Amino acid sequence: MIDFAADIKSKHSIANILLHDNISTYMNELYEHHKVEIKNYTLPDGETRTAYIIDSTLTLSTLPDGTIFSIGCNARYKGLYQNTLSAGMPFDQIKKLTERQRIFNGVIILNEDFGLCYVLPAPYDEIADSLENIPPTLILDEIYVSDFSSWLHKPQ
């Protein structure tokens, strides 16, 4: 059952919706109990993806076959990551609650966990090259779970 207060689990789930499940698994519940907005988009390489925005709170991103590859939530979501972190927290609070933060592709990765990220809002997603570029009071409204491990440098 979809739960907007369920734990956020890195590389696994948000709202009890599981990565790698097919969106069809959740369709009945989504349309019976939630407002669903669907957006299709095309990647630079021509591949298509679909985003399902649920109650203006969750975003489920799927491959053309319906496989969920990314789940995001915003500050309306009530669940926590590791019983501590949530969407809608200021950056300085996130820094205090984590050991390490790194910027990759316009997001912040925490404690080397490449299964969860905070999205940097504009214009910081474009201009923040180091953590010092991020104001301490900047609110980070979005968390995504997926597999971001491909961003790690692989030794030659």
Average of per-residue pLDDT across 122-148: 89
Strand order across the 58-62 sheet: 36-42, 48-54, 58-62, 68-73, 142-145, 116-119, 107-110, 101-104
Residue 64 has a pLDDT of 96
pLDDT tens digits, 63-82: 999 999 999 999 999 999 99
- pLDDT at 156 (0 to 100): 47
In Å, how far are 27, 43, 68, 127, 148 from 34, measured between CA atoms?
Answer: 10, 27, 18, 36, 28
Q: Give the pLDDT confidence of 34-69 residue by residue, as tens digits.
A: 999 999 999 888 889 999 999 999 999 999 999 999
Q: 2-33, pLDDT tens digit by residue?
A: 999 999 999 999 999 999 999 999 999 999 99
Instruction: State pLDDT tens for residues 84-133.
Output: 999 999 999 999 999 999 998 889 999 999 999 999 998 888 876 788 88
